[in-house]
Amino acid sequence: MSLLVVGLSHRSAPVSVLERASLAADAKVKLLHDTLAAEPAAEAAVLATCNRIELYADVDKFHAGVAELSTLLAQHSGVALEELTPYLYVHYEDRAVHHLFSVACGLDSMVVGEGQILGQIKDALALGQELHTAGRLINDLFQQALRVGKRAHSETGIDRAGQSLVTFGLEQLAVRVPVEEWAAGKRALVIGAGSMSSLAAATLARVGVGEIVIANRTAERAERLAEILVASGTGVTASAVPMSAVAGELARVDVVVSCTGATGLVLTGDEVALAVEGRPAGPSPTRPSTVPRGSAPDPFAGAAPLPGAGPRTPAPQTPAGLDLAASVDADLVARLAVLAGEGRRIADGGAVRSKVVVEERDGCPVGLEALASDPGRTADGRAALAGVDAGSLELHGTWADQGEAAAQRQQPRKGVRDQADAQPVRLALLDLAMPRDIDAAVHRIPGVRLVDIESLAETSADAPMAADVDAVRAIVAAEVAAFGAAQRAAHITPTVVALRAMAAEVVAMEVARLDGRVPDLDERQRAEVTQTVRRVVDKLLHAPTVRVKQLASEPGGAGYAEALRELFDLDPQTVASVSRADEADKNHDSGRAS
């Protein structure tokens, strides 16, 4: 077995890349044909969904196979190879089998345990069979993946994992109140229309919210989800809006659930603060869908300040707007460029909201550590600031804030239930995205409660879900080992068959020679002699052939087939013909994807 998979998914690539790299139906067909036309590949299948594109192939050369499959993916997806390469992953042999089995069980999905992927794997196999690009290995692999996925869902509770996450998140937002009672009559905004967002919307409808608004980058998917919710029989009112309307919808809803594949924030602190400004507690009355921003008060008015921070002061303005670059010296800019090139984190720089690259472990990027360690080292604290420009002070402040944030992260966080404020909640936010969709700082805004993946993990660790995931991982590991052993054993079968065919031919030749030497033997005697010779040959071959199959099923056992061929001088063409006949019979028996 020389199975190779090259692909990209939501775990390796941003949504913008996945959207551009999507494959239409005709592109899949062309990709499979071109893969088989390539020299390293003997058979192939493509698994393409909204969250992944993976090309599976049986190759005879690893490095050549990786290069060829990567090039073909880039060519047919429309994304340049140099742009696609950083997001590609490669799995080979047993690791490739492990990957597909994990995908089939839902362990690699955005919603852990979702079952839709099984239908997509079945479709991928059916296409490979229809185009005759799926040979024995691909057929065996995908058929077994379907069985493993069904086994995981029937023997464990993995299909409840995603449901558990949404339900528990809503329980944390409700805080000591039954979810159905808390949700009754509320208006909800769901951002995203993927698997997790759809599950969240369905759960909100089930627990009794009165209205759900779906916002998504692709309008058709949002409208389709809204139609499904209306037809669900829960009595919920559902509608779809474009992403540009999210800020306005925040002003009229009570609950927001966000789960997108965006690499940046979908909801900023400013937008959330503006939405809750002046709102009464409890379910919101219907409001206009747009909020005038020009006359809005300071969006963070009344919000708790950052630890150790003073009043927010506006940055100096110029007629052309903010111009921090003019106040930062060239050496500082050069250092920032180096940090950015090394992939350091981008931090928010405060009131001016400039993006500054600072690593938490490093010292202050402008050498002002003493300001943080001993701000009172002078009589009035002002002498330390002499000669320091505004841009450097901003960088120092960002570095100091990150150090404070890092220190806070070292402290044990309390559960969401323990953080319930005495003041009423005006807006409840559930962020199920990874990386986060909602600015974590919104929890400082009065009247806002935020629950995200991090807080859910710290608060619950959801033991039943973890147990189900562990059980599925054990199933996958066992099935991968069994599949590998079966494939290695099957690899030596044509050699064993060819050996026994050669032995039968030798027996037939010797019996014919005996007929020439002893022509007076009657039929009964001739049959007895023939049977005796066959038994002797079978007994001599039995132990070696059984043992070689056992050895071949172990890792590294592929060499035993070659050893048999060399020791018994078997004709390679005979072995190959047996293998082709066996494959034809197997494909005929397996039929279409089940």
List residues with catalytic annotation. Answer: 50
Contact 84, 76 (CB under 8 A): no
Q: Which residue has the tokens 């809006």?
A: 241
> DSSP string covering 486-525, please?
HHHHHHHHHHHHHHHHHHHHHHHHHHHHHHHH-TT--HHH
How far does the chain reach from its first CA to its final CA, in angstroms? 23
Question: Which residues lie below 8 Å from residue 102, measured CB to CB, with a gap of 6+?
Answer: 108, 473, 476
- Assigned token pair, 353: 């909201």
**Residue count of the chain:** 594
DSSP 8: E
Tell me the one-letter amino acid at 378. T
Q: How far apart are CA 519 and CA 521, in angstroms?
A: 6
Contact 247, 275 (CB under 8 A): yes
Question: Which residues lie below 8 Å from residue 552, measured CB to CB, with a gap of 6+?
Answer: 488, 489, 491, 492, 558, 560, 561
- Assigned token pair, 579: 């293998």
- Assigned token pair, 504: 């039968």
Residue 474 burial by CB count (10 A; 0-12/13-18/19+): exposed, middle or buried?
exposed
**Beta-bridge partners for 215:** 191, 241
